[in-house]
């Protein structure tokens, strides 16, 4: 108790002693630069409303910049708008727009380099190429920002949140749209990404490579050009996310390439061209996911092994499961498949006859794609039935021995 | 003359009560499907199969049988100073009303009331293809019964045509696609499918129902050709051609026939 009181007194005193608050009434480019120049470490600069045109603003000391009523800084199209080379910088309540587009430089609204413990929250980013670009930084918080990109094509647009060689970053509650990738991570370890909405991005809503030990919770990835693609990573936790409406020739709700030892739990994967696509890697667990109304619910290529699917609900997909090989080391246990037509005599809730989720039609379409024209054909339905009774082509080990008789949820 | 003949046929139709049982069957089916399915797209899949298999079967058999059964009535009418064209039209139109009316009453109305706020376009395209398929197979049935005087022969031919268009034709496509799988076969496959009314209806509904599947890599080729405005127009046109052609042929046959 005494220690706590002492601590509070110390904190209050230290505030009086070392940091001051400066109100920037006249918000112009020169004033703003000068104020940053003059500020002592840990000072707070409060910016009232206003618009300025500026770029290459450099911050080399730990300051806190707080905007009221979103004062905006427009880029001139030649360089990053704000460059941060210090630790503990706070940027709040600002608006950044028109960074300009560059094919040479990864043009960003806020560029952080080797800066740790920075906080970028409640900002707005409008028409920026890259919005927040962080390299070699640790313990960043990027939260409650709004990213409104206006990228045209993949080549001439950047990522909203771009982290490269960063550690322990929290990305929370952001609304991201119109960039190339909503959230892009490379060589970034231990991130926690939660409650973001990433929608209408040109390529991926979320894209990461070599970013181990990460957590993704309660995010919504909606209507992105190619969905979500995650690659070359192990030990990822994806929980309570929604992957929805990613439609197109190469669109995936969730594309896992060389993902190992990860958990995908409680997600909703709705109305995508391919719900879950798995290539390479393995030993992932998929539990309690709802996979509804996709063209292909799950596609597993033979290069991925030992994945396990348990208690998932797979309903109203054109194809439940498809694969390109008769060899299989993946396991399916107690999932609900709406196409299952077995019975349950002992009433334990599990079907007594196994379910083979790979339909003959799915298997031959995988090998001969133009055959998709026979989708919903009664002839194929009969062939599927025949294959069900006398399996000869489909992989015999892709089997759910105890499928659920009822989905865990009544209505989906 | 046509209208009074048609009125008489329709009175007969209502007296027979067949149409009400037919409508009741669809009604019970749709309601049961909605009651037991947890997802409305499951209802559509089941209805799709009903529409692609049951409607053609019932229509083609009804078309053939109805004409054979009204043979004596037609012979009686032919003795009167009535145009042959009118006799045929009244007979055909009353059958059309029976099969399509039963379907629209029993399946169309409950479907639309269930889906009025959800997938109304899908429901309408289901009903539209049901109506067109009913008409097509009915006119095929009429043509068959005009070709063969023997009832058994006619029924056999009707069943063979139904079986060919609803099942075997897709097997044929499967075989061709497999045989030529090394070639870019998408466009020929599409043309082959468009020659069969059953496949036309299936693709027409599948475009709405499994939108996401047809957005896949090769599916996109089909979607870009069929899913556009002109694709839909040409699908519907082809189906109407399939309806009108056998109808015209059987009308011609009927006009020249020696009873």
Q: Tell me what ipTM this predicted complex has.
A: 0.85
* Interatomic CA distance for residues A184 and B160, integer angstroms: 59
Closest C-alpha to A268, from A313, A326, A209? A313
pLDDT at res. A363: 86
**Confidence (pLDDT) at B148:** 92
Residues, chain A, total?
Answer: 412
Cα separation, A16 vs A20, in Å, equals 7
Parallel/antiparallel/unpaired status of strands A214-217 and A236-239: parallel
Q: What is the largest CA-CA distance in chain A?
A: 83
Domain boundaries along the sequence of chain B: 2-256
A407 found inside a domain:
no
CATH code: domain of residue A107:
2.160.20.10
Q: How far apart are CA A299 and CA A71, in angstroms?
A: 48
Low pLDDT (below 70) residues in chain A? 1-3, 6-18, 409-412
Tokens 């094509």 correspond to A153
Query: Which of A249, A376, A407 lies at the smallest CB-CB distance from B38?
Result: A407
| Residue A190 per-residue DSSP state | S
Of the partner residues A249, A271, A316, the one whose CB lies closest to the CB of residue B217 = A249
Query: Which pLDDT belongs to residue A412?
Result: 45
| Strands (E) located in A118-246 | 119-121, 124-126, 130-135, 141-143, 146-148, 161-164, 170-172, 175-177, 183-186, 192-194, 197-199, 206-209, 214-217, 220-222, 227-234, 236-239, 242-244
**Distance separating alpha carbons of residues B197 and B56, to the nearest angstrom:** 10
Q: What's the number of domains chain A is made of?
A: 1
With a cut of 90, say whether residue B117 has pLDDT above it. no
| CA-based nearest distance A304→chain B, Å | 22
Q: Do A318 and B202 touch (CB under 8 A)?
A: no
Q: Compute the mean pLDDT over every residue in chain B, rounded to the nearest whole number.
A: 89
- Contact between A101 and A79 under an 8 Å Cβ cutoff? The reply is no
pLDDT at position A13 is 58
pLDDT at B167: 92
Contact pairs from chain A to chain B, CB under 8 Å: 113
Look at residue B217 in the predicted model and tell me its pLDDT. 65
B171-175: average pLDDT: 93
3-class DSSP state of B76:
helix
Output the CA angle A136-A137-A138, nearest 5 degrees.
135
Distance from CA of A339 to the nearest CA of B (A): 10
* Nearest CA distance, A152 vs chain B (angstrom): 22
Residue A173 φ then ψ, to 5°: 55, 35
Instruction: Print the domain residue range for A176.
Output: 21-329+360-389
* Residue A161, C-beta contacts closer than 8 angstroms, at least 6 positions apart: A131, A132, A142, A147, A171, A174, A176, A182, A183, A184
Mean pLDDT of B11-36: 90
Q: Which tens digits make up the pLDDT trace of A29-73?
A: 999 999 999 999 999 999 988 899 998 999 999 999 999 999 999
Q: Which pLDDT value is given to residue A58?
A: 94
Mutate to test the interface with B, among A243, A252, A370 (most CBs of B within 10 A): A370
CB pair distance less than 8 Å for A296 and B213: yes
Is residue B111 within 8 Å of residue B126, measured between CB atoms? yes
Q: What is the pLDDT of residues B56-103, one digit of tens each?
A: 999 999 999 999 998 899 999 999 998 899 999 999 999 999 999 999
| Cβ-contact A140, A110 below 8 angstroms | no
CA distance A362 to chain B (A): 11
């Amino acid at each position: 108790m005494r220690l706590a009181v002492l601590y509070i007194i110390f904190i209050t005193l230290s505030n009086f002693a070392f940091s001051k608050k400066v109100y920037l009434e006249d918000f112009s480019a020169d004033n703003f630069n000068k104020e940053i120049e003059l500020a002592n470490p840990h000072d707070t600069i409060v910016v009232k409303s206003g618009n300025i045109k500026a770029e290459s603003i450099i911050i080399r000391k730990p300051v806190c910049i707080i905007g009221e009523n979103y004062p905006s800084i427009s880029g001139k199209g030649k360089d990053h708008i704000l460059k941060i080379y210090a630790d503990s910088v706070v940027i709040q309540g600002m608006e950044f727009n028109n960074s300009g587009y560059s094919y040479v430089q990864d043009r960003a609204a806020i560029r952080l380099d080797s800066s740790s413990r920075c906080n970028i929250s409640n900002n707005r980013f409008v028409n920026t190429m890259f919005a927040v670009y962080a390299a070699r930084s640790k313990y960043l918080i990027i939260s409650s920002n709004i990213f409104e990109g206006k990228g045209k094509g993949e080549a001439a647009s950047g990522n909203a949140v771009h982290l490269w060689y960063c550690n322990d970053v929290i990305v929370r509650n952001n609304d991201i749209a119109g960039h190339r990738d909503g959230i892009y991570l490379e060589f970034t370890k231990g991130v926690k990404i939660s409650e973001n909405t990433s929608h209408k991005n040109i390529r991926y809503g979320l894209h990461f490579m070599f970013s181990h030990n990460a957590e993704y919770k309660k995010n919504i990835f909606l209507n992105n050009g190619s969905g979500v693609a995650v690659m070359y990573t192990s030990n990822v936790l994806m929980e309570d996310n929604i992957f929805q409406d990613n439609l197109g020739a190469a669109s995936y709700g969730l594309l896992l390439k060389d993902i190992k030892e990860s958990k995908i739990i409680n997600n909703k994967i709705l109305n995508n061209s391919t719900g879950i696509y798995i290539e390479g890697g393995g030993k992932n667990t998929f539990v309690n996911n709802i996979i509804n109304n996709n063209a292909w619910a799950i596609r597993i290529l033979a290069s991925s092994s030992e994945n396990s699917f348990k208690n998932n609900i797979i309903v109203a997909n054109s194809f439940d499961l498809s694969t390109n090989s008769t060899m299989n080391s993946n396991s399916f246990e107690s999932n609900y498949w709406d196409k299952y037509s077995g019975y349950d005599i002992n009433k334990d809730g599990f079907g007594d006859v196994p379910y083979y989720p790979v339909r003959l039609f799915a298997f031959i379409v995988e090998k001969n794609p133009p055959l998709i024209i026979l989708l919903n054909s009664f002839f194929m339905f009969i062939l599927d039935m025949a294959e069900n009774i006398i399996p000869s082509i489909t992989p015999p080990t892709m089997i759910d021995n105890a499928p659920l008789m009822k989905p865990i949820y009544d209505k989906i | 003359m046509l209208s009074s003949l048609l009125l008489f046929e329709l009175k007969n139709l209502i007296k027979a009560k067949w149409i009400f049982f037919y409508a009741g069957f669809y009604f019970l089916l749709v309601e049961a499907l909605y009651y037991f399915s947890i997802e409305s797209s499951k209802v559509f899949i089941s209805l799709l199969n009903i529409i692609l298999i049951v409607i053609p079967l019932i229509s083609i058999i009804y078309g053939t049988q109805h004409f054979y059964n009204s043979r004596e009535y037609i012979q009686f009418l032919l003795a009167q100073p009535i145009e042959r064209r009118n006799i045929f039209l009244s007979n055909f139109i009353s059958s059309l009303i029976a099969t399509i009316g039963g379907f629209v009453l029993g399946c169309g109305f409950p479907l639309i009331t269930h889906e009025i706020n959800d997938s109304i376009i899908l429901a309408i395209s289901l009903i539209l293809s049901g109506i067109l398929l009913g008409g097509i197979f009915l006119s095929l049935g009429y043509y068959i019964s005009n070709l063969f005087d023997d009832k058994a022969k006619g029924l056999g031919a009707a069943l063979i045509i139904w079986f060919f268009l609803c099942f075997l034709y897709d097997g044929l496509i499967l075989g061709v696609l497999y045989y030529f799988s090394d070639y870019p076969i998408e466009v020929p496959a599409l043309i082959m499918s468009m020659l069969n009314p059953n496949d036309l209806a299936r693709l027409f509904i599948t475009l709405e129902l499994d939108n996401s599947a047809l957005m896949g890599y090769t599916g996109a080729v089909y979607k870009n050709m069929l899913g556009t405005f002109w694709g839909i127009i040409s699908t519907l046109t082809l189906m109407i051609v399939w309806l009108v052609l056998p109808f015209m042929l059987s009308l011609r046959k009927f006009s020249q026939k020696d009873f």
